[in-house]
Structure 1
C-alpha cells in the first residue's frame, strides 16, 4: 500500500469513509486493488498482476478508477465503487468556513517533511503556500527566458526571501523530453504533453541536484475555484453546471486523470510528488464553501486568498498567473517547433502530428 498503512484503508472501507485523513493511497489489499477517492496515487493492472506504473504490467491494463476496488469475482475482474466525493451542505458561517480552510492548509503544508524536498514554484498563490510550509526548501521554476512564470517566480522569491533555481528551457530540451513524457504518461495529446513537460523538466533538474521529493501546489485551482470557467458557469459551455459550486465540483472530478499524468511524469524524472493542498483535510475544508468564497466576477480562490492573507506578501496573495503550459511558454514554443518542422497551423492538429513525429523518431 502506497500513501498510508493497510489498517487505515481497511477502516475507510468498513466505514465507507472517502476522506480518512490521508494524502491519498493506492495498492494491493486483501486480494484486491484499491485507489482513493481522488486518485492521488496511480494504480494499474489486475489483483494478480499490478503495479504503480503502467509499463510494469500488461500493456492493456487500465488504471484502477479513483474511489474503486478492483477485484476478481466469478473469474472476472470487476471494478466496484466504494467511495464517492462527499457533498456537504453549504457552510452557514463565512468566518468558520474560512478559518477551516486556513487551519487545514497551514497544517498540511507545515507537515511536509523538509528532508530532501524542493518546491515547484511559479510565484503564484498555490506554490507560495506550499513554499511557506517548508521555509528552507529550494524552489524551482522552469520556463523560457521571457516566460511569465520565471518573472513572477523571481519577484515572489525575492519578496519571500527564498532560494530560487531557474531551469531555463531550450528547444533542444523540448525535443528531447517530449518522447520521454509520452512514454512515461502514455499520452501524446498536445494539452497533456505541454502540461507535463515543464513539470518533468523541473523534476529532472531537481533530481540531478539531489532532491528526492518535489512539493507542488496541485489541486488548489480545482478545489477552491481557480478556473475562469467556474466564474459564470451558466453562460460557459465548458461546464455543465449552472452554479459556481457545481462547476467547481465538476473540475474537482477531473483530478484523478490529471494527477495520474503528472505523478507518472514526475516519478519518471526521478522525484516523488508531494501535494499538501490535496490532503483529505484540505479537501474536507474546501467542499462546503459557498459560491462567493470560491469565485466571483472580481476574484477567484476567494477563501484560499483569505487564508493566505496574513502569511504571504500581499502581491503574492493577489497574484494572477497563467496555467503552467502557458506561463512557462512551453505551449508557444512547441507550436513554434511544430511549424518549423513543417507542421503548419492550417493542418489538422499540427502540434499533435509534430509530437507523434518526435516519438516515432
Structure 2
C-alpha cells in the first residue's frame, strides 16, 4: 500500500470515511486495488487482467488507472468513497480551521532529503515556510514571470534559490520522457508537466529525493478565474462559487496522476502539504466569500499566510505554470520553426508527436 498503513485503509472502507487522515493512498488490499477519493497516488492494472497491477504504468502492456474513490476487483470497479460536500461553516470559524490545518500540514513535512518547487506565489511560499532550511528550485526561460517572482520572494525571505534556466534543447529532450512516463501527449498536459519535471530532475541531481509542491491549492481554495463569477463563465456548470470550486476539486485525480508520474520519472517523490486530509476537509467547509470574490482569489489561503510570508508574496497574482515559465510560448515557437504553423489544427500537438518519432 502506497501512502498509508493497510489498517487505516481497511478502517476507511469499513466506515465509508473518504478522508481518514494522511495524504492519500493506493495499492493492493486483501486482493483488490484501491485508490483514495482524490486520487493523490495513482495505481494501474492491465486492461484485461486486473490482477496484474503496478504504480508505474510503463511496466504494463495496457495500463488502466483505478478511478479515484474506487475498489477494483476481477468483477470491475466499485465506488466506495465520494468527496464530501458539507455545509459551509461560519466565516471566522472556517478561517481558523483552514489556518490551523494549513500551518500544521506545512510544518509537519519531514525536511530530510527535501527540496521545494518554488514559483514565488503564495502557495509555494507557504510550503517553503514550513521547511525553512530546505533549498528552493524554480524553472523557467530567461525573463519569465516565475523566475523573476521566485528570485524576488527568495530575496525577501533570505532563502537559497536554484534557478533552472530552460532552453529549447531541454524541451526537445524532455518531451518524449514526459509522454513516456504519463502516457499523455496533448500540449496542455505536456506544458504543465515540463517545468515540474525539469525542477525535479535538477533537485534529484543535487541529491534530493523528495520535492514539496503546492498542488491542490488552486483547486481547493479558489485560485481559478472561472470560480469568481461562475454564473457567467461557460467553463463551469455551477452558478455558485462553492459549486464551481467543487468542480475544480473533482479535476484533481486526473491532474495528480500526471504530476505524480512526471515527478517520479524525474527522480523524486512528491510531497503535497495542501492535499493532506485535514486541509481538504477544512477547505471544503469554506463559505463562498472565503474562497473567491471579485477582488481576491484564494481568500482563506492568503489569510492563512499572514505573518508567514512577505506581504508582497501573500498578495501576488500567479500565472499558470505553463505560462509563467514561458514553456507554452516556447513550445509554440519550436512548433512553428519546425513547420507546424498556427493555421494548422493542433499545431503544437503535431509538433510534440513529431518529437516522439
> Fold match, TM over 0.5?
yes
Partner of 1:35: 35
Aligned counterparts of 1:79 and 1:105: Cα–Cα separation in 2: 33
Question: Is 2:130 the counterpart of 1:133?
Answer: yes
Partner of 2:308: 311
Partner of 2:86: 88
Query: Which one of 292, 303, 328 corresponds to residue 289 of structure 2?
Result: 292
Q: Secondary structure at the match of 2:64?
A: coil
Partner of 2:57: 54
| Alignment deviations for residues 165-211 of structure 1 (CA, whole Å, 9 cap, x no partner) | 00000000000001111111000000000000000010000100001
Q: What is the CA-CA distance between 1:58 and the residue it aligns to?
A: 2.7
| Alignment deviations for residues 79-134 of structure 1 (CA, whole Å, 9 cap, x no partner) | 0000000011111x211110100100011111111000000000000000000000
Aligned counterparts of 1:165 and 1:290: Cα–Cα separation in 2: 38
| Alignment deviations for residues 18-59 of structure 1 (CA, whole Å, 9 cap, x no partner) | 000110100000000000000000000054211001111232
Partner of 2:95: 98
CA contact (8 A) 2:8 2:20 kept: yes
Partner of 2:178: 181
Partner of 2:250: 253
Superposition map of 1:336-351 within 5 A: 336-351=333-348
Superposition map of 1:148-187 within 5 A: 148-187=145-184
| Alignment deviations for residues 46-75 of structure 1 (CA, whole Å, 9 cap, x no partner) | 54211001111232x3100000000123xx
Per the normalisation by structure 1, the TM-score is 0.97
| Alignment deviations for residues 137-161 of structure 1 (CA, whole Å, 9 cap, x no partner) | 0000000011000000000001111
Q: Secondary structure at the match of 2:211?
A: strand
Q: Mind listing any 5+ residue stretches in structure 2 that lack a counterpart?
A: none
Per the normalisation by structure 2, the TM-score is 0.98
Q: Mind listing any 5+ residue stretches in structure 1 that lack a counterpart?
A: none
Count of residues in Structure 1 that have an aligned counterpart in Structure 2: 354
CA contact (8 A) 2:51 2:74 kept: no
CA contact (8 A) 1:141 1:164 kept: yes
Partner of 1:238: 235
Query: Which one of 193, 196, 201 corresponds to residue 198 of structure 2?
Result: 201
| Alignment deviations for residues 252-273 of structure 1 (CA, whole Å, 9 cap, x no partner) | 0000000000100000000000
Aligned counterparts of 2:50 and 2:8: Cα–Cα separation in 1: 20
| Alignment deviations for residues 258-294 of structure 1 (CA, whole Å, 9 cap, x no partner) | 0000100000000000001110000000001111100
Aligned counterparts of 2:87 and 2:16: Cα–Cα separation in 1: 19
Aligned counterparts of 1:36 and 1:227: Cα–Cα separation in 2: 24
CA contact (8 A) 1:31 1:47 kept: no
**CA root-mean-square deviation:** 0.7
Q: Secondary structure at the match of 1:62?
A: strand
Partner of 2:17: 17
Partner of 2:280: 283
Query: Which one of 67, 70, 73 corresponds to residue 68 of structure 1?
Result: 70
Aligned counterparts of 2:93 and 2:159: Cα–Cα separation in 1: 32
CA contact (8 A) 1:124 1:316 kept: yes
The worse-fitting range, judged by mean Cα deviation, of 309-318 and 321-330 is 309-318
